[in-house]
Amino acid sequence: MKFYISTILYIALAYNTFANNISVTNVALTGQNVAAGTNNAANFTLVQFTLSWENSLRTSFGPGNWDAAWVFIKYRVNGGTWQHSKLNGTGHTAPAGSTIDIGLQTPGTTFNITTNPGLGAIIYRNAAGTGTFTATNVQLRWNYGSQGITDNTAVEIQVYAVEMVYVPTGAFNVGGGGGTLAFTSTTINTANATTIPAGTGTLGGMGGGYPSGQTAPSLATWPNGFSPFYCMKYEISQQQYVDFLNNILTAQATARFANVAGNSRNGISVLNGVYSTTNPFVACNFLSWADLAAYLDWSAIRPMTELEFEKACRGTLAAVVGEYAWGTATLSSATTITNAGLANEVANAGANLNAGTATGFGGPFRVGIFAGAATTRSQAGATYYGIMEMTGNLVEKVISLGVAEGRLFNGSHGDGTLATTGDANTTTWPATTAVGTGNRGGSFANNAIIAPLRVSDRTDASTTFATRTNILGGRGVRTAP
């Protein structure tokens, strides 16, 4: 078999230095196994690489969580269309100090290379520690034979990595922070999302699988935040979105391109069919629901629900009235930025969000901008679990519990492929009309009106926004294996 590392190999967010400088290097193909016979569907090879990121953290106290990388692989045959690689359920090599969890199409069910393949891997440190984390010679088993690739085919690969944060299993409060249309304070204390709230919850209100006074989700498996999941640490950056556009078909990319370069700090443009951006480190705005869903589908992750949003922000702590993502009811708006558009774009000392100031900046900041030298959660503008910019910067698009179409969501993940139109092909997600989705967390534009910035505020949680606007960005999550 003739394997080639693509000359345009995407080095796993190497452009996105931000706070943690995640990178994939030394990519190689090794250990090709053709023992099953010539061109057999069971033949495989190992995709080998070194994965590293700075400021990694795994705690044995407090939240008891860790950061991780979601790694997935794309390939193409003889210069054709890029496809998503299917990984085996076992047979991977985790270097010393690391753990590999394979992300199946449907986590929690039996691996099957055809109906439930591995679509990527969660890789993380396996003991408490801090600082730069490096896993050398990670090996992921790619079952190329199952995808119709013969043993002597020329194949290019691209390896992608997205930094994630683990949100553990556990009860949490929704609604207790108050705000417009906020849920009635309820303790979510079961993974069964249809359990009717009753009694007294340990973190406020009644306890159950969904907020008191709301219509129950249609499925017990609706992701209500109790079960563990991984959340993207940062909003999708412009470089991440550019690499997505450059990996899909021309017609698909055209459908997913906003063409607003120069507007509200969006620097994405196209020349001779190649997409680039002048603001690679800045969060990507002008993402409609259809755009976000397509990116998540292509990455083999999924949208978050609005209950997962509150869990990711508040964690297992009691709610604080009027709180923002960092757990207090006070904010410190940025008034200046320096090194604008660069990898070291930074806000003035003491600031922890991009919103709430009369002057405003007309667009999003670099993702992770407040993480720098901050020593506390509040200084960094970080959630209980260390997730960044969940308040302000860009709106978080979520699956809404307040709309019937949102309550039909079953938590399915993307499969790494798109419809020919460039839309997500995951039929169990809200359609391109965006009905069933809503907004949480506010954006840079929430200056005079800051209520939507608060964790429990649901001003637009059930409002349909189908078009592209300068305040819309997003991030995805993945159900933990």
Q: Tens digit of pLDDT for each residue in 349-366?
A: 999 999 987 666 899 999
Lowest mean pLDDT among 56-60, 71-75, 228-232, 372-376: 372-376
210-225: average pLDDT = 98
With 0-12 / 13-18 / 19 or more C-beta atoms within 10 angstroms meaning exposed / middle / buried, residue 254 is middle
In the prediction, which pLDDT does 55 show? Answer: 83
Confidence of residue 70 (pLDDT cuts 50, 70, 90): very high
* Integer Rg of the chain from CA: 21
Contacts 24+ apart (CB under 8 A), 261-268: 263/470, 264/362, 264/363, 264/364, 264/470, 265/341, 265/361, 265/362, 265/363, 265/364, 266/238, 266/363, 266/470, 267/238, 267/341, 268/238, 268/241, 268/242
In the prediction, which pLDDT does 19 show? Answer: 41
27-39: average pLDDT = 94
pTM score: 0.95
Residue intervals in the chain for CATH 3.90.1580.10? 168-481
Work out the number of other CB atoms within 10 angstroms of the CB of residue 183: 27
In the prediction, which pLDDT does 373 show? Answer: 54
76-101: average pLDDT = 96
Q: How far is CA 258 from the centre of its chain?
A: 20
Give the bridge partners for 66, in sequence order. Answer: 58
Residue 16 clears pLDDT 70, i.e. is over it: no
Confidence of residue 268 (pLDDT cuts 50, 70, 90): very high
Helix axes 238-245, 289-298, angle to 10 degrees: 70
Lowest mean pLDDT among 2-11, 20-29, 157-166, 252-261: 2-11
142-149: average pLDDT = 97
* Cα–Cα dist 305/315, whole Å: 15
182-207: average pLDDT = 98
Determine the residue type at 92: H
Q: Is 294 left (phi over 0), alpha (psi -120 to 50) or beta?
A: alpha
In the prediction, which pLDDT does 60 show? Answer: 86
* Cα–Cα dist 168/227, whole Å: 7
8-33: average pLDDT = 64
Q: Which CATH architecture has domain 168-481?
A: Alpha-Beta Complex (3.90)
Of 64 and 117, more confident: 117
In the prediction, which pLDDT does 61 show? Answer: 85
Kindly state the tokens that stand for 95. 């270097």
In the prediction, which pLDDT does 12 show? Answer: 32
User: What average pLDDT does the structure give for the chain?
Assistant: 93
Q: How far is CA 221 from the centre of its chain?
A: 20
Contact 248, 82 (CB under 8 A): yes
Residue 11 clears pLDDT 50, i.e. is over it: no
Which of the listed ranges 15-19, 59-63, 129-133, 189-193 does the model predict with the highest average pLDDT? 189-193
In the prediction, which pLDDT does 358 show? Answer: 63
* DSSP 8-state class, residue 43: -
293-297: average pLDDT = 98
* Cα–Cα dist 449/358, whole Å: 10
* DSSP 8-state class, residue 365: P
Residue percentage of the chain with pLDDT more than 70: 95
Residue percentage of the chain with pLDDT more than 90: 88
Residue 13 clears pLDDT 50, i.e. is over it: no
174-187: average pLDDT = 98
- Given the DSSP bridges, would you call strands 477-479 and 437-440 parallel, antiparallel or unpaired? unpaired
5-24: average pLDDT = 46
With 0-12 / 13-18 / 19 or more C-beta atoms within 10 angstroms meaning exposed / middle / buried, residue 196 is exposed
What is the separation, in whole angstroms, between the first and last Cα of the chain? Answer: 32
In the prediction, which pLDDT does 267 show? Answer: 98
